Amino acid sequence: MVSRRLEIRNSPPPGHLPERRETHPFRLAPSELQIPMPPEEDYNSQSALRCTGRSGAKMAAGEEEGLAAEPEQEPAAEEPRSFKDLGVTDVLCEACDQLGWKVPTKIQIEAIPVALQGRDIIGLAETGSGKTGAFALPILQALLEVPQRLFALVLTPTRELAFQISEQFEALGSSIGVQSTVIVGGIDTMSQSLALAKKPHVIIATPGRLVDHLENTKGFNLRALKFLVMDEADRILNMDFETEVDKILKVIPRDRKTFLFSATMTKKVQKLQRAALKNPVKCAVSSKYQTVEKLQQYYIFIPSKFKDSYLVYILNELAGNSFMIFCSTCNNTQRTALLLRNLGFTAIPLHGQMSQNKRLGSLNKFKAKARSILLATDVASRGLDIPHVDVVINFDIPTHSKDYIHRVGRTARAGRSGKSITFVTQYDVELFQRIEHLIGKKLPAFPMQEEEVMMLAERVAEAQRFARMELREQGEKKRSRNDDDDTEEAIGVRNKVAGGKKKKRKAF
């Protein structure tokens, strides 16, 4: 394994450097290039009305898509200042205080009173707005009133989000003895079967692994389920879990309460809403495809071959902050992490080709501030609650414009400020224009000193060579041992191979 590490020192030349446009390799900004843009799909739903009522508001039956109509508003009432004002019981209010939740967020103000009335909910809110508390508190309050095992099911698109939601449930319900279990891929099914046999109050699961247990785990069923939550519903459907969701809906009671939370109201989400919810109330606190107000968004227009040098320059210029850097592929995520480590940065990767334990380890190190730079694929772009991210860098521009919203939403959360910087190469101009069109604003260029960037090129090139060598060594080890692939398909293949070998030895 290559162990050499390089050091980067800031040594700006004295005197005033030329203006950016005189030294930049690209003379035109992306917004100045004329590229025809086909119309984006209109995901705006006219079938749901915004819920702005309080707990005592009277809801009339809606005419469109089975949604509740918006009640006529009385003169503006005083804004709720505490969870007790929303109708949350004292024991749960104390739990909120212990977690530092002093004042409810906008989505919690909108959703909790409606949920406590026993209504189905469609929740649309910007990232980092406290959606987990918006559905966890009503579920726990209902559980206090009617204690029951296998009381609630929460479906999530990713494993990391599932573990995070489980932590929130157990923290909020610690004083009342709430038990939850996480059912996701990459973990031994036998241990999960034993956990399900104990009948926890809340199950947090990814759809694929839950269906596996519903079909194959003896004695496990959800016939008594009272609450179903689909968090990040648009992403669940975009990951082609529609078949699994349909199977789950067929085996759970129809008289349940259903909460559907999504960042966007896509056509797939509308279809799911019609199939799974009964006369729901829409609780929305943000407009379509909106970024956070306190987020400062920038772009850098550069040749693709200099991306690594510009990345190192930015990390030096903004030293002392915590960074999330998004890459498009697992391989590029790993390569860039190795590159930055060779340059002395405390960088760790997070991507789908890592084992579950390594992924959780990387996430926990970053959350604990033991590492200041997290490089990730879009597996970390949504749902994860990491409050101290200062800067998001789109090292590879997202292919889908909506993913930009979710990526930059990792910073400037819960009222904090933050920065996002998007790298735009000669191949990314149309994608960048789509992003600007989606968010409805032209982004400013990030101020750069190109001469300083070019001074780093030689050191960065040497670090690139070391990173490629290390990546090659890791690939050879993985091919020889192949124990790092935690996908359900790979685990199944390995188990079949191991089982076949055992049978052959026994027969011989």
φ, ψ of residue 236 in degrees (nearest 5): -55, -45
Q: Give the tens place of pLDDT for each residue, 31-40.
A: 666 555 555 4
Q: Give the tens place of pLDDT for each residue, 456-503.
A: 999 999 999 999 999 888 887 776 665 544 444 444 444 544 554 444
**pLDDT value at position 55?**
38
- Strands 323-326 and 373-376 turn out to be parallel
| 141 and 275 belong to one structural domain | yes
| 299 and 277 belong to one structural domain | no
**pLDDT value at position 126?**
65
If DSSP states are collapsed to H, E and C, what string results for 57-126?
CCCECCCCCCCCECCCCCCCCCCCCCCHHHCCCHHHHHHHHHCCCCCCCHHHHHHHHHHHCCCCEEEECC
**pLDDT value at position 220?**
95
Per-residue pLDDT at 373 exceeds 90? yes
**Is 279 in contact with 68 (CB distance < 8 Å)?**
yes
Nearest to residue 339, comparing CAs of 308, 368, 362, 365?
A: 308
Cα distances from 506 to residues 281, 495, 499, in angstroms, run 61, 16, 11
In a domain? residue 36: no
In a domain? residue 65: no
Highest mean pLDDT, choosing among 270-274, 370-374, 447-451: 370-374
In a domain? residue 228: yes
**pLDDT value at position 248?**
96
**pLDDT value at position 36?**
54
**pLDDT value at position 286?**
60
| 265 and 356 belong to one structural domain | no
| 327 and 420 belong to one structural domain | yes
Per-residue pLDDT at 221 exceeds 90? yes
| Amino acid found at 53 | G
Q: Is 392 helix (H, G, I), strand (E, B) or coil?
A: strand
Nearest to residue 362, comparing CAs of 337, 395, 387?
A: 337
In a domain? residue 420: yes
pTM (predicted TM-score): 0.65
**pLDDT value at position 309?**
95
243 lies in which domain range? Answer: 84-284
- The rounded distance, in Å, linking the Cα atoms of 377 and 141 is 36
**pLDDT value at position 496?**
46
Cα distances from 362 to residues 167, 348, 483, in angstroms, run 17, 6, 18
CATH of the domain at 278: 3.40.50.300
**pLDDT value at position 25?**
46
| 417 and 473 belong to one structural domain | yes
Question: Average pLDDT of 102-120?
Answer: 93
Q: Give the tens place of pLDDT for each residue, 267-325.
A: 888 888 888 899 999 998 765 555 667 789 999 999 999 999 999 999 999 999 999 99
**pLDDT value at position 230?**
94
Residue % of the chain over a pLDDT of 70: 75
**Of 169-178, 240-249, 372-381, which gets the smallest average pLDDT?**
372-381
In a domain? residue 239: yes
In a domain? residue 113: yes
| 232 and 299 belong to one structural domain | no
**pLDDT value at position 355?**
84
Number of domains in the chain: 2
Pick 118 or 382 by higher pLDDT: 118
Q: In what order do the strands lie in the sheet with 227-230?
A: 180-183, 202-205, 152-155, 227-230, 257-262, 121-124, 281-284
Pick 290 or 430 by higher pLDDT: 430
| 257 and 382 belong to one structural domain | no
Per-residue pLDDT at 59 exceeds 90? no
**Is 93 in contact with 115 (CB distance < 8 Å)?**
no
| 332 and 416 belong to one structural domain | yes
**pLDDT value at position 421?**
96
- Residue located via tokens 């993985």: 478
Per-residue pLDDT at 190 exceeds 60? yes
| 128 and 105 belong to one structural domain | yes
**Is 1 in contact with 339 (CB distance < 8 Å)?**
no
